[in-house]
Amino acid sequence: MKFKAAAVQVTSTARVSNNLTKCRQLVEEAASAGAKVIGLPENFSFMGSEAEKKNLLGQIEEETNAFLQETAKDLGIYLLGGGFPTKAPTGKVYNTAVIRDPEGKEVFRYHKAHLFNAVVGDGFNYSESNSTESGGKVPDVIQTEYGKISSAICYDLRFPELFRALSEKGVELCFLPAAFTVPTGEAHWHVLLRARAIENFMYVLAPGQTGVHDPHGNRKTFGHSLIISPWGEILDEINAEEGFVIAEIDLQKLSEIRNQLPSLNHRLF
């Protein structure tokens, strides 16, 4: 089976309505180009300060869920919202990815497991766990007419055991929505994504944030959204501009690769 899938790249800010308008435009363009499965990046509907997030949480969650439902149904696509804040019972938030089916129904929900606490040399000390609760679980894999689909989120990329767990669940196409920093993106983005695709023989679609996200030019992200084949080939990539990448997903080719080089069956540990 063959179909087209796309990953959208945007520069989100703290303005929810503006972000969703831009996302709608790009998703419509990708769908018009033939994409049946489309992913949006982490923080697609809101990328602002922790104080703003706390104050706007109800609005962000309500408007984002409505947007995903309406857009997926209007365009008849599977649509991933690659990470937005939802209320957690602890008083913190979850960083939540949701997939809606072509009828607008929610068929996948995942709370980011690995939280980004790091100093990477871009002037920020990242402490995601201060405000965000880990979901603590491996994502589900959903069966669709376009194969078995799942998603992790951003920093999860650095933990190969999560993707091996998805492989054991039969995943064929995995999203990795992200808001990668520029220093880590330049050093690690491509090699980590290609490694996850190759070692698990799966398609990887990585929709990313890009550019400058605040008026002072402080928060910057790497961009370079891309789609990778199970053989590790970069099928499409965008640089720093807003837009989308699109490529043909060939599940028959995926099956052939897994049969020709059955390394997943040769594991000893």
As annotated, the active-site residues are: 42, 112, 154
Query: What's the one-letter identity of residue 115?
Result: L
Among 103, 94, 207, 122, CA closest to 157? 207
Q: What is the 3-state secondary structure (H, E, C) of 174-205?
A: EECCECCEHHHHHHHHHHHHHHHHHHHCCEEE
* 94-115 CB burial, b ≥16 within 10 A, e <16: bbbbbbbbbebeebbbbbbbbb
The answer to whether residues 101 and 75 touch, using CB atoms and an 8 Å cutoff, is no
Structure tokens at 181: 């920093």
